[in-house]
């Protein structure tokens, strides 16, 4: 009987700690986390004979980083049409393109000119040894010293089994770019960004239900906004839904962090608007910056631009400005306090 009661209590405790509201309360009201003092680096052992270090990784590799609904599929498909490149679509996606049983056959109808996402993964079933679905919603922020060997093995497996230039298009590494740059210092990183208002309009799965006047009560998350904010709240407290209740403000904060990380760590940043509506000049600039070659006139034909300014159907300029200015003020205050050491 005692064992049964103990088991029931443990199960109740586990379910309580898994509850989002409880976690938010603990985060808001609990004491600050105490970090254990540890050595800063793994110093070499005096008894270990050191071998010459391997060459820096990432030579001839291209990473594409972007927020969801920002045109990253278009850019991936562009590289899919460049001779000598093997372009991989969203390697961390939970559909696991390397696994025939999980990937299915559905293709987003908004991805014009795309018949499948998985062709390049046909010979990469070994990726299953390293893949971790938690990558889509945990450890979203990774700095140079973050520890995730399976993620590195996963990316290495793609690179080592690619003929020609491996191009990997991600929607989940923008806040992991310091880690990417640390482990693949010779790789080139392309950062793609889009007007946040248009991204927001594309985020909304039911525009008839979710309107500017009721979005706080009707917002339904389809692109990991809430789970990412929850994971990142320890680093960026303003992302906590208990602190920032309005979903567009949380969205904007995350968009801006993505933009800041991209412009800081990427080798080349490109706006979706330039890519979609001035493709020739945009592709030429990207090729010049990254030392790439290709028939730019033919590649420009791959680009099929969507309608512009769909955000105007959701709300007026003043509505967006009010929320964006609020976020920008808080971001400036947050970073100024960080830089001055006042936390």
Q: What pLDDT is recorded for position 251?
A: 96
Helix (H) or strand (E) run with residue 27 in it:
helix 20-29
Q: What pLDDT is recorded for position 41?
A: 75
Q: What pLDDT is recorded for position 6?
A: 61
Q: What pLDDT is recorded for position 47?
A: 85
Which residue's structure tokens are 């060997």? 149
pLDDT tens sequence across 246-261: 999 999 999 999 999 9
Q: What is the distance between the alpha carbons of residues 151 and 113, in angstroms, rounded to a whole number? A: 30
Return the closest-CA partner of residue 86 out of 12, 157, 168.
Answer: 168
The tally of CA atoms less than 13 A away on the side-chain side of residue 44 is: 7
Return the closest-CA partner of residue 174 out of 160, 159, 191, 157.
Answer: 191
Q: What pLDDT is recorded for position 291?
A: 87
C-alpha of 163 from chain center: 26
**What backbone phi and psi angles, to 5 degrees, belong to 195?**
-50, 120
Q: What pLDDT is recorded for position 228?
A: 95
Q: Write the CA distances from 148 to 67, 127, 128, 219, 280, integer angstroms.
A: 22, 15, 16, 33, 39
pLDDT tens sequence across 290-330: 888 899 999 999 998 888 899 999 999 999 999 999 999 99
User: In this model, does residue 197 exceed pLDDT 70?
Assistant: yes
Report all structural domains of the chain as residue ranges with CATH numbers, in order of start: 58-340 (3.40.50)
Which residues have a Cβ under 8 Å from the Cβ of 283 and sit 6 or more positions away? 78, 275, 294, 296, 299, 300
- Mean of the per-residue pLDDT values of the chain: 88
Counting residues of the chain whose pLDDT is more than 90, the rounded percentage is 70
Higher-scoring residue by pLDDT: 42, 165 = 165
Q: What is the distance between the alpha carbons of residues 330 and 324, in angstroms, rounded to a whole number? A: 10
Q: What pLDDT is recorded for position 206?
A: 87
C-alpha of 8 from chain center: 39
pLDDT tens sequence across 150-160: 999 999 999 99
Where helices occur in 81-148 by DSSP H, the ranges are: 100-103
Lowest mean pLDDT of 157-161, 175-179, 325-329, 334-338, name the range: 334-338
Q: What is the distance between the alpha carbons of residues 245 and 270, in angstroms, rounded to a whole number? A: 31
Q: Write the CA distances from 179 to 21, 64, 95, integer angstroms.
A: 31, 14, 24
Q: What pLDDT is recorded for position 308?
A: 86
**What backbone phi and psi angles, to 5 degrees, belong to 63?**
-105, 135
Q: What pLDDT is recorded for position 107?
A: 85
Counting residues of the chain whose pLDDT is more than 70, the rounded percentage is 85
97-128 exposure pattern, b = at least 16 Cβ within 10 A, e = fewer = bbeeeebeeeeeeeeeebeebbebbeebeebe
Return the closest-CA partner of residue 66 out of 221, 225, 258.
Answer: 258
């Amino acid at each position: 009987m005692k064992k049964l009661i103990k088991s029931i209590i443990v199960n109740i405790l586990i379910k309580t700690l898994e509850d989002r509201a409880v976690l938010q309360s603990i985060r808001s009201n609990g004491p600050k986390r105490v970090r254990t003092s540890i050595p800063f680096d793994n110093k070499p052992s005096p008894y270990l004979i050191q071998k010459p270090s391997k060459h820096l990784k990432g030579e001839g590799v291209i990473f594409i980083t972007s927020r969801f609904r920002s045109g990253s599929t278009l850019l991936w498909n562009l590289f899919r049409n460049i001779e000598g490149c093997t372009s991989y679509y969203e390697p961390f996606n939970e559909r696991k393109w390397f696994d025939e049983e999980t990937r299915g056959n559905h293709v987003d109808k908004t991805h014009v000119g795309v018949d499948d996402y998985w062709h390049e993964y046909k010979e990469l079933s070994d990726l299953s040894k390293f893949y971790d679905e938690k990558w889509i919603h945990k450890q979203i922020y990774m700095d140079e010293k973050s520890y995730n060997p399976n993620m590195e093995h996963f990316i290495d497996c793609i690179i080592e089994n690619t003929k020609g230039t491996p191009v990997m298009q991600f929607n989940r590494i923008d806040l992991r770019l310091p880690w990417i740059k640390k482990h693949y210092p010779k790789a080139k990183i392309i950062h793609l960004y889009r007007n946040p208002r248009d991204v927001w309009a594309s985020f909304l799965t039911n525009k008839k239900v979710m309107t500017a006047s009721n979005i706080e009560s009707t917002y339904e998350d389809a692109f990991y906004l809430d789970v990412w904010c929850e994971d990142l709240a320890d680093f960026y407290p303003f992302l906590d839904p208990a602190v920032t209740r309005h979903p567009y403000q949380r969205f904007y904060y995350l968009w801006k962090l993505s933009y800041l990380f991209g412009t800081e760590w990427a080798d080349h940043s490109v706006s979706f608007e330039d890519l979609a509506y001035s493709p020739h000049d945009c592709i030429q600039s990207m090729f010049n910056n990254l030392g790439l070659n290709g028939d730019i006139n033919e590649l420009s034909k791959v680009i099929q631009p969507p309608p512009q300014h769909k955000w105007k159907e959701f709300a007026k300029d003043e509505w967006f400005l009010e929320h964006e200015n609020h976020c920008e003020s808080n971001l400036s205050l947050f970073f100024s306090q960080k830089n001055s050491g006042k936390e």
